[in-house]
A and B are shown apart, each in its own frame.
Chain A
Amino acid sequence: MVRMRKAVGQTLFDKLWRQHTVAELPDGSTLLYLDRILLHERTGSIALKSLAESGRSIHAPAQATVVIDHIVDTLPGRSDDTLMPGGGAFIRETRQAAAAAGIRVLDVDDPLQGIVHVVSPELGIAQPGLTLVCPDSHTCTQGALGALAWGIGSTDCEHALATQTLAVHKPANMRVRLDGQPAPGVTAKDIILHLIAAHGAGGGAGHAVEFAGEAVEAMSVEARMTLCNMAVEFAAWTGLCAPDQKVIDYVEGRPFAPSGEDWRRAVESWRELASDPSAAFDREIVVDVSALEPQVTWGVSPQHATGITGRAPEAGEQSVERALAYMALAPGQSLEGLPIDAAFIGSCTNSRLSDLRAAAEVLRGRKVAAGVRAICVPGSTQVKRAAEAEGLDTVFRDAGFEWRESGCSMCFFAGGEHFAERSRVISTTNRNFENRQGPSVRTHLASPVTVAASAVAGHITDPRRLTA
C-alpha cells in the first residue's frame, strides 16, 4: 500500500527562515544568517562601542548601515548639538565608531538621512527575502516588503555585527487576514490599532504575523509599512507581508536595489515568496475591515484604542482606572470633542509621503485651531524634499503647522524637546505610554487624517466630518 503523505506547505515566514538557516543548534534555536544590519545613534552607539572595546571585529561592514535619527534635532539649521542634554555625544560617538568600523553613515546633513525604518525601504536596503535586524523595536516595519526584519537589543546587535548571525528560537506562525476594504477615512493605522485593541497588546506574543487578505493586497506598500510597524505593539516577534508586484515596482531603481541581471534574478526569487496555499498557521485572526471606523486611543497602551465615535471605558479594572486618571478622562467620556493642545504628524509609523499627502488633503485651505501647536516631521530628508516639490510644505505651513527636518523627533522624550507638561496631544506615532512624549503628556494615537482633522477642529474629531 502506498501511503500518501499529505503535503503541508510552508508559510512565507517558514521560507525566509529556512533560506537563512546556518545551523540548527543543540538547544533548539536556529542560527540565522543576517543580510543587513541597521543601527542608530540611540542604541547602536553602545553596541559599536562595546564591540570595539571587546576587540572583536565586524564581519561584514558593507552589509551594515548607521543612521542618525533618534536624538538629532528636527529644527532648521540643526547640528550635532541637540536640545537633548548630552545628545551631541551620542551622535559624535556613533559617527566615530562607525567610521572606525568602516560602516556607512547616513549622517545629520546627508540628503539620504531620515528615520531608519523610513530610509531603509526608501533606499532599497530592505528588500524582499532579506533578513534584517536593528537594535530598535520597530524594525518589523520593514517586513512590509517581504523581508524578515526584527528588532533586537544592543548585545544581540554586537552578536550580529561580529558573526553576521543570531541564534533565535523560531516563533509560531500567525496570519492576520484583513477582509473587505476600509471605508474612506479609515487607514492602515486604524486597522492595526483596532487589531491591538481587539486582541490585546500581548495578542501576537510568540508569533511572526503575516498580514494578508484583500485589504492588504489593495494597500500601498507604504500603508503596509504602517501595518507592520505596530506588530511589535501587538507583542509579535515581527510582522510581514508577501511581496507582490507593488513591492517589486516599489523597490526597482532604488540606490541599494539590485540592477541588470541581478534584478532579473532577484525578482524571479521574490515571486516565490508567498505562503503556500496548503501552509498551516498556528493561529489565524480574521478582521472585516469594512466595518471599521477611524480609531483613536484613550489610554496608555496601544490596546486602549476604540472607534472615534466611541467612549473611554467605564471604570472598573485598576489598570483602566489608572489609565483614565493619567489621561485625565472621566469614565465613559466621549473621545470626540476632547480639546487638544498639540498635534504631531511623524514617526516611523506615519511620516512617509503618502501620509503627508493624506494629511495635507485635509489641511488644504484650512487652519489649525487657535492654541493648538501642530508639528509635521517628515520621515526622511528625501520625503521632505519630495513633499516640498509638490508644495505640501506650503499646505502644512499655511495651515499653521511647523515644518521640520526629518527624524524621530517628539515621538519620544529624551530630555530635550517635548510637548508641554500634562498637555493633550493627538499623534500619528505608535506609543501612547505614560511620559512618552514628555512629562505627564497625554498622547492619543491616530492616523494622519484624524490628526490633521483634529488639529483643525482643536479637539479630537472624526476626519470623515472634513473629508466627506
Chain B
Amino acid sequence: MEPLIRLTGRVAPLLRANVDTDAIIPSREMKLVSKKGLSAGLFANWRYSDVDARVENPDFVLNRPERRGAAILLAGPNFGCGSSREHAVWALVEYGVRCILAPSFGAIFRGNCIRNGLLPIVRPQEEVEALAAEAEAMPQAQMTVDLERCMLTSPEGRSIPFDISAADREMLLEGLDAVGATLKRMDQIRAFEAAYRQARPWRFHLPTG
C-alpha cells in the first residue's frame, strides 16, 4: 500500500447523504476477480448518461473541468454505507481519490479505506459544507491534507486540524500491511486458541468432508 503523508489536489463536493457503495461502484462494474480496472466504473450511474457507451454526464461533479481527477472528496453523512464491497475503495483510489471528508462513514467502508491508503476524515457537516462552499467559490483552488500534522488547508487557505486514531494514522503514513503486523502475534494467537479450544471444544468439532 502506498504511504500517504501529504496530499495536495483538486476537490470535489458530493454532499448528498447516504451515498452507498452501489453508487460508488455499481455491481455490474465489478467485472473480474481483480482489484484493478475499476476506476472507469466509479460512480458509473451518475457519471455517465449512457453507462454502456460511457457517455459522460456533464452535470456530474467529477466531469466538471475543474473537478476532474479530484484527489479529495467532500461528502455527506453515512458515506459508503451499504455493501461491503472493497471495490468501492479500490475504484476511488485508482481514480486518484486519496482523502474523503464526511460527517460520518459506513463502518465497513471506513475500514476498507484505511486498508488501502485512502484517508477518511470525520468532520462536522457544517464544516464540510463550508469547505464545499469555498471550493465552489474558488474553483481552481486546491486543498492540502497533511497527515503528519493532522492538518488540512482549505481552498481559501484556512488551516483546520483533524483527528484520526493513532493506529489508522500510522497505517496510512507507513503504508502498513495489517496482516503482516498481526502475523507477528501468531504465537499469542495460538496460545489463546489452545486455551479457548480446551474451554469450548464443541466449537472446533466440525463435520469433515
Contacts and interface: CB of A to CB of B under 8 A. Distances in A.
Interface of A: 22-23, 25-29, 31, 33, 35, 42-43, 45-46, 49-50, 54, 56, 62-63, 84-86, 89-90, 93-94, 104, 127, 129-130, 135-137, 151-156, 158-159, 162-165, 167, 169, 171, 201-202, 205-206, 232-233, 235, 237, 255-256, 258, 262-263, 265-266, 269, 301, 303, 318-319, 322, 412-415, 431, 433-436, 439
Nearest to A255: B207
B33 interface: yes
A191 B203 CA distance: 33
A319 B17 contact: yes
Given A413-B27, A433-B82, 14 more contacts: A27-B170, A35-B203, A42-B30, A50-B35, A56-B183, A63-B204, A86-B31, A153-B86, A155-B116, A156-B111, A156-B178, A159-B182, A163-B185, A413-B28
Given A90-B33, A159-B182, A434 B165 contact: no
A439 B193 CA distance: 48
Contacts of B209: 104
B104 A153 contact: no
B32 A152 contact: no
Contact of B84 (A31, A152, A164, A165): A152
Nearest to B78: A202
Given A43-B85, A137-B84, A154-B86, A256 B207 contact: yes
B130 interface: no
B55 interface: no
A25 B185 CA distance: 11
A415 B200 contact: no
Contacts of A104: 209
Contact of B31 (A85, A153, A159, A255): A85
A205 B102 CA distance: 14
A156 to B, nearest CB: 6
B86 A235 contact: no
A135 B178 CA distance: 16
Interface stretch (B18-26, B58-66, B146-154): B18-26
A89 B32 contact: yes
A158 B112 contact: no
B192 A33 contact: yes
17 contacts: A22-B188, A23-B188, A31-B182, A56-B183, A104-B209, A130-B203, A137-B108, A151-B108, A152-B84, A153-B112, A156-B115, A235-B106, A301-B17, A318-B16, A414-B30, A431-B22, A433-B20
A56 B179 contact: yes
Contact of A414 (B18, B27, B206): B27
A239 to B, nearest CB: 13
A262 B203 CA distance: 9
Contacts of B35: 46, 50
Interface size on B, as a range, is 35 or more
A104 to B, nearest CB: 8
A433 B202 contact: no
B179 A162 contact: yes
A163 B205 contact: no
Given A237-B107, A415-B28, A153 B115 contact: yes
Given A258-B205, A319-B16, A414 B167 contact: no
A158 B108 contact: no
A260 to B, nearest CB: 9
Nearest to B83: A137
Contacts of B31: 85-86, 415
Given A159-B178, A163-B186, A255-B207, A169 B86 contact: no
A22 B189 contact: yes
Nearest to A104: B209
Interface string B22-46: 1100111011111100000000010
Nearest to A300: B18
Contacts of B33: 45-46, 49, 89-90, 93-94
Given A43-B85, A265-B202, A152 B51 contact: no
B53 interface: no
Contact of B22 (A206, A255, A265, A433): A433
Contacts of B83: 136-137, 412, 431
Contacts of A269: 200
A85 B209 CA distance: 32
A359 B192 CA distance: 47
Given A46-B35, A262-B202, A412 B165 contact: no
Contacts of A165: 182, 185, 189
A155 B16 contact: no
B196 interface: yes
Contact of A202 (B18, B188, B206): B18
B97 interface: no
